[in-house]
A and B are shown apart, each in its own frame.
Chain A
Amino acid sequence: MLELRGIHKYYNPGTINEMCLFQDFNLTIDKGEFVSVVGSNGSGKTSMLNIICGSIPVEAGHILIDGKDITKEKEFKRNRKIGRVYQNPAMGTCPSMTILENMSLADNKGKIYGLSRGTNKARIDYYRENLAQLGLGLEDKLDVKVGSLSGGQRQAMALLMSTMTPIEFLILDEHTAALDPKTADLIMELTDKVVKEKQLTTIMVTHNLRYAVEYGNRLIMMHQGECVIDKKGKEKEEVSTDEILKVFNEISIECGN
């Protein structure tokens, strides 16, 4: 279970550009939930993910995982339990290393990166199987540098790499936004498959309302640092894209967009 309690977040504090994003923001995400988060630009979606992962500090409030306060814990330590896929496909892989080396790196997460051989030869077949699941033909390109792959291929690898080792939370930060519609659909299906298989608690930020409605079992719409829609269970199943879009338009008019 993940809890955000009384979060306060300011940008540029103490300057003329001070901007308050979160004022007493609360959110509880239960184990096994797949939360889709939508909202306009600047509504605090990505900031919320960054706060959960520890990429940015908070002015006040607490972040708890299973009741344990992790507010002060550094980003890299929190990442032991968290897998994250970014909007930019380049963020989740190492371009100058080969597919095999990237897989080996990801496979060792949570263990010591010592002086033993970087690639465990006994695991290569396992990596191949995993890559074959993607259906992109990457299993035959183990020695190709990731930098020469397309955005969609890299994003598929990033998804695979971030969920390879046992994690509890999967954070998806607009992970289909930089891809063409067909590849985006493919990645989205893969995501759903991985989440169901590994029973991960997932938070997905997306601008694609269709994905938000179709996937996941909870939907949140954020606006100016608050949740304006929060539907789960049966309510979520009945929600339609039009309904979400209506609320979205109202908010946008209010903002003058």
Chain B
Amino acid sequence: MNFAISIVEQGLIYGILTLGIYITYKILDFPDLTVDGSFPLGAAVTALLITKGVNPYLALPITFLIGALAGICTGLIHVKCKVRDLLSGIIMMTALWTINLRIAGTSNVPLFSQQTIFKNDFIDGIFPESLSKFKTLIVILILALISKFLLDLFLATKSGYLLRAVGDNDTLVTSLAKDSGNVKIIGLAIANGLVAFAGGIFCQEERVFEISSGTGAMVIGLASVIIGTSIFKNISILKTTTAVLIGSIIYKACVAIALRSFEPQDMKLITAVLFLIILVISMERKKKVKTNAGA
């Protein structure tokens, strides 16, 4: 039981990150490696704010804004300096490593005695003893659903339409007398805002900031997006945002089950192999091979 709860908790936290990667990878068609830096950025900002005594709930929107800032930087590097998309992300990811260390002070900040969004007087007060096991899960579920619904709402606005159009066909956006570069920057800002938001929640849940917590975040998110979109692609009632959230939980479950029969240091290898298997199974890969062959 605890095993399952922990999988869903982790799955939903990374699900918020996956929502961000869904924007860059699926909507913008932008391989954004900034994610590996903006996830711990959210954690670093959270660690700093909480140790300074800031309300842990207030820390959440702040992490979103700081993450959005990182996304804007990646966007500016790509759009204004005309650096290739992959390289823009790598530049920001590298820069963020130092920035994260500077923000947090050290590479490891424990938050054992401080109040977090999961453990404070308010939360302890409203949850009866019998539900204490699900406390963390419920808080994460609420945050994940809020993120999902806000993203859904945004994607249905005029600005959201433009964002969806830019990854599909940026010529059309230019024809509509809009600067496609600006639209890309907005998309990257929202995506990295969500990723940093997830990083902040992760930091509060684990009660520690770890500089290397972002390593491989991109791969986790990508795998989750691909699982979610390929499993549920024929179920049109299910929104893609819901599908990627579930995809993230499935991915975390796969990793957790695999880890039961391996050592913790095998984690990254399992991640890589799992990612490869997912790519091979999903149609995504077949499509890519076809377009490459045609080119």
Contacts and interface: CB of A to CB of B under 8 A. Distances in A.
Interface of A: 74-77, 79-80, 83-84, 86, 90-97, 101, 104-106, 108-110, 112-119, 162
A110 B168 CA distance: 20
B80 to A, nearest CB: 13
21 contacts: A75-B174, A76-B178, A76-B179, A76-B180, A80-B177, A84-B175, A94-B169, A95-B169, A104-B161, A105-B162, A105-B172, A105-B176, A110-B177, A112-B158, A113-B158, A113-B159, A113-B161, A114-B159, A115-B154, A115-B157, A118-B157
Contacts of B173: 76
A101 B157 contact: no
A94 B168 contact: yes
Contacts of B156: 117-119
A119 to B, nearest CB: 8
Given A115-B157, A117-B158, 20 more contacts: A75-B174, A76-B173, A79-B177, A84-B175, A94-B168, A96-B164, A97-B164, A101-B164, A104-B158, A105-B165, A106-B176, A109-B175, A109-B177, A110-B177, A113-B158, A113-B162, A113-B178, A114-B157, A115-B159, A116-B158
B277 to A, nearest CB: 26
Contacts of A84: 175
B197 to A, nearest CB: 19
A91 B161 CA distance: 17
B55 interface: no
Contacts of B106: none
Nearest to B154: A115
Contacts of A114: 157-159
Contact of B168 (A97, A109, A116): A97
Main secondary structure of the interface of B (DSSP, over half): helix
A84 B174 CA distance: 10
Contacts of A80: 177
Given A76-B177, A94-B164, A97-B164, A108 B158 contact: yes
A95 B168 contact: yes
Contacts of A117: 156-158
Contacts of A93: 169, 172
Interface string B8-28: 000000000000000000000
B104 to A, nearest CB: 34
B282 interface: no
B172 A92 contact: yes
B168 A77 contact: no
B32 to A, nearest CB: 19
CB-based closest 7 A-B pairs: A118-B161, A80-B177, A113-B158, A79-B177, A94-B168, A113-B162, A115-B157
